[in-house]
Chains A and B, each alone.
Chain A
Amino acid sequence: MADVAAVREQEARIAPPAPSRLSWSWLGLVPFFLFCTAFLFLPVAFLVIGSFNDRAGNLTLQNYADLSTGIIPGAFANSIEVSLVTAVAGGVFGFLLAASVVLGGLPRVLRSGLMTFSGVASNFAGIPLALAFIFTLGTLGFLTTLLQSLGLTGFRGVNLTSKLGVEVVYMYFQFPLMVLIIAPALEGLRREWREAAENMGASAFQYWRHVALPILTPSILGAMILLFGNSFGAQATAFQLTGGTLPLVTLVISSQIRGDVLHNPGLGYAMSMGMVVIMGMSILLYTLLQRRAERWLRS
């Protein structure tokens, strides 16, 4: 028992359990916060201040009041929905894709190919991506004409100008993002665990349900929140695909602060603050889920 005490003491020295008040450990985060202040917080301050100004520069709360009017609530609903769908669907298939090359025993070159390709594809967005899908699945797209010539004469192309269309196109950068983030976690699954499970008679399903997935859940959740944020902040792709007819928060914001018409930038800034709040709430939710998932892990 003296050993246990000695071990506990050593552990406490190296990495003390979460203290009731913050010790000086937070100083280690100073470089990070300094950098963020210089290049993130200070510029964002203008956004915050701007959200309380009207067109003439007077202080007002009207912008925040306007958040509940017109198409804005619908835009928030749409953005959240599209982001959730692409985060989950992107997460699931991205996970499968990563698993196929890391665990599925495919030739090694396919793995490097997928990882490097994912690097590029993760940022293939905006007008080029929208046009790529239009040139493929549009009324005169190459796939459309191919299918028509193969006999599907009634096929007139896929209408991408819809929420579903936007979600399908968004996958192009969501899948690769998931692949890149989750691959190291999959690599961390030791072969010995699989073998140990098999030795004890577990089927593949049982292995995944009781061993692998619980270990991976925190990483999967983390990756999904990233996918959510990534989709939430995307703008140019949906704009090109839908001509702005699908109200998304990012599109409404950019129509207020850019464009050729005299709009109300303050409203745009207030909407950005709204996005910040939603992001904050998502992180809270995610942190709660994370704590439950990690409960059994020695943390």
Chain B
Amino acid sequence: MTTATATAAQGARRRRRGFGAWWAWVVFILGALYFILPLIGVFAHSIRTRPDIFLAYRQVFADPAFFRGLGYSFLAGLLTVVISLLIIVPTAYWVRLRVPQLRPVVEFVTLMPFVIPPVVLAFGLIRIYSQGPVRLASTDTGLNVMLVGAYVVLSFPYMYRAVDTGLAAIDVRTLTEAAQSLGSGWARILSRVIFPNLRTSLLSGAFLTLAIVIGEYTIAQVLARTTAFAPYLSLLGRNQPYQPAAVSLISFGLTWLAMILIAFLGRGSRTRVQVAGAR
């Protein structure tokens, strides 16, 4: 028993010194290689232009519509994230706490967007909102609303799963109990207790959603949102030999930057106290 404790303590000491377990390094490096090598392949292809090896990049950056497109999609992404959070967090919380029998139903609904072809969803939206009382499809603003609505639905699988996993890791019942015994209503419980404890999950969900929105093409095209980033890129000419490679790297990089910004802004106090003991 002493040997086991000693080895464990040794491992803990090594970790505390910030060295990192050997297996962690192996896994991380393997993962990093798998992710980075294809990106190098793209880069290697994009600089085959002669005589100016960065010609493709210059061509991309020369067009102001590039940044207009990125701005539009980024904004749409932020809106989508906010709306999605406001719908999903209370829903996941409520399902966990009060209506666990409906959990399979809710999960099924949130996974539906995977099996509905986006082109069908988009054309369906147009059909519905071009007749009847709510004619969203005839104006630009209406189409923007439809776009964000569709994107929120697309984000549901990821957002719900991220939030649900986060809720599983904290003791929802005890937290709620504690808050209620101190006199909080539901709104305050959600905003002051649940949301702050879900920070990592919310960030994960936000990343996933933002990436989807910035890269989404089909629905934006069908709804004639040609200012959006991905539709704009397609006008650059999918049959250019080197530009698409440069474009995918640039959008990869810019999206990563956006994520880093969000991560920084979303970083709260690292020393938060975890409420409630083991489940």
Could you say which residues of chain A place their CB within 8 Å of the CB of B238? 127
- Interface positions, chain B 17-43, Cβ under 8 Å from A, are 18-21, 23-25, 27-28, 31, 34-35, 37-42
Contact A131 B42 (CB under 8 A): yes
Task: Give the interface size class of chain B.
Answer: 35 or more
Asked if B165 lies at the interface with its beta carbon under 8 angstroms from chain A, I say: yes
Considering the chains assembled together, what is the distance between the CA atoms of A265 and B11 in angstroms? 60
Set A29, A99, A101, A272: member contacting B117, Cβ < 8 A: A272
> What per-residue 1/0 map shows which CB atoms of B109-144 lie under 8 Å from chain A?
101111111011111110110000000000000000
Contact A128 B104 (CB under 8 A): no
Contact A253 B170 (CB under 8 A): no
Given A257-B120, A283-B108, answer yes or no on A198-B28 (Cβ-Cβ < 8 Å).
no
Contact B248 A132 (CB under 8 A): yes
> What per-residue 1/0 map shows which CB atoms of A212-229 lie under 8 Å from chain B?
000100110011011001
Tell me the smallest distance from the CB of B142 to a CB of chain A, in Å: 13
Could you say which residues of chain A place their CB within 8 Å of the CB of B101? 18, 22
Contact B113 A40 (CB under 8 A): yes
Asked if B68 lies at the interface with its beta carbon under 8 angstroms from chain A, I say: no
Chain B interface SS verdict (over half): helix
Contact A223 B127 (CB under 8 A): no
In the complex, what residue of chain B is closest to A143 when comparing beta carbons? B37
- Interface positions, chain B 200-218, Cβ under 8 Å from A, are 200-201, 203-204, 207-208, 210-212, 214-215
Asked if B158 lies at the interface with its beta carbon under 8 angstroms from chain A, I say: yes
Considering the chains assembled together, what is the distance between the CA atoms of A122 and B256 in angstroms? 11
Q: Which of A120, A121, A125, A172 is most buried by chain B, counting CB atoms within 10 A of its CB?
A: A120
Considering the chains assembled together, what is the distance between the CA atoms of A264 and B9 in angstroms? 66
Given A15-B176, A28-B99, A258-B119, answer yes or no on A122-B211 (Cβ-Cβ < 8 Å).
yes
Asked if B279 lies at the interface with its beta carbon under 8 angstroms from chain A, I say: yes
Q: Which of A93, A100, A110, A269 is most buried by chain B, counting CB atoms within 10 A of its CB?
A: A100
Tell me the smallest distance from the CB of A98 to a CB of chain B, in Å: 10
Considering the chains assembled together, what is the distance between the CA atoms of A104 and B31 in angstroms? 14
Contact B208 A177 (CB under 8 A): yes
Considering the chains assembled together, what is the distance between the CA atoms of A202 and B3 in angstroms? 11
Tell me the smallest distance from the CB of A164 to a CB of chain B, in Å: 15
Contact B274 A190 (CB under 8 A): yes
Considering the chains assembled together, what is the distance between the CA atoms of A232 and B205 in angstroms? 20
Given A25-B94, A120-B255, A287-B103, answer yes or no on A106-B25 (Cβ-Cβ < 8 Å).
yes
Contact B31 A97 (CB under 8 A): yes
- Interface positions, chain A 245-265, Cβ under 8 Å from B, are 250, 253-254, 257-258
- Interface positions, chain B 232-279, Cβ under 8 Å from A, are 238, 244-245, 248, 252, 255-256, 259-260, 263, 274, 278-279
Set A29, A181, A278: member contacting B99, Cβ < 8 A: A29
Contact A279 B111 (CB under 8 A): yes
Contact A272 B116 (CB under 8 A): yes
Set A125, A132, A233: member contacting B114, Cβ < 8 A: A233
Could you say which residues of chain B place their CB within 8 Å of the CB of A47? 116, 120, 124
Task: Give the interface size class of chain A.
Answer: 35 or more
Tell me the smallest distance from the CB of B53 to a CB of chain A, in Å: 15
Tell me the smallest distance from the CB of A270 to a CB of chain B, in Å: 12
Q: Which of A46, A105, A136 is most buried by chain B, counting CB atoms within 10 A of its CB?
A: A105
Contact B111 A181 (CB under 8 A): no
Segment at the B interface, from A31-39, A56-64, A65-73, A148-156: A31-39
Contact B104 A283 (CB under 8 A): yes
In the complex, what residue of chain B is closest to A193 when comparing beta carbons? B278
Contact B162 A181 (CB under 8 A): yes
Asked if A77 lies at the interface with its beta carbon under 8 angstroms from chain B, I say: no
Could you say which residues of chain A place their CB within 8 Å of the CB of B120? 43-44, 46-47, 257, 269, 272
Asked if A203 lies at the interface with its beta carbon under 8 angstroms from chain B, I say: yes
Tell me the smallest distance from the CB of A222 to a CB of chain B, in Å: 6
Tell me the smallest distance from the CB of B128 to a CB of chain A, in Å: 5
Could you say which residues of chain B place their CB within 8 Å of the CB of A235? 117
Could you say which residues of chain A place their CB within 8 Å of the CB of B100? 18, 299
Set A28, A96, A100, A119: member contacting B208, Cβ < 8 A: A119
Which 10 A-B pairs rank lowest in CB-CB distance, beginning with the nearest?
Answer: A104-B24, A43-B124, A188-B169, A119-B207, A136-B41, A105-B15, A123-B211, A233-B114, A100-B24, A128-B248
- Where the two chains meet, the residues of B that have a C-beta atom closer than 8 Å to any C-beta of A are 1, 4-5, 8-9, 11-12, 14-16, 18-21, 23-25, 27-28, 31, 34-35, 37-42, 44-45, 87-88, 90-91, 94-95, 97-104, 106-109, 111-117, 119-125, 127-128, 146, 149-150, 152-153, 156-158, 161-162, 164-166, 168-170, 173, 176-177, 180, 198, 200-201, 203-204, 207-208, 210-212, 214-215, 238, 244-245, 248, 252, 255-256, 259-260, 263, 274, 278-279
Show 13 residue pairs from A and B whose CB-CB distance is below 8 angstroms, ordered by the A residue.
A14-B176, A25-B94, A44-B116, A115-B203, A128-B248, A142-B44, A172-B38, A181-B158, A183-B204, A225-B107, A230-B114, A279-B115, A287-B103
- Apart from A123-B208, A204-B11: 20 A-B pairs, beta carbons within 8 A: A22-B99, A28-B98, A29-B106, A32-B87, A32-B88, A44-B116, A93-B27, A97-B27, A97-B28, A107-B20, A114-B28, A136-B38, A142-B41, A143-B41, A172-B34, A180-B162, A201-B4, A222-B161, A223-B165, A250-B117
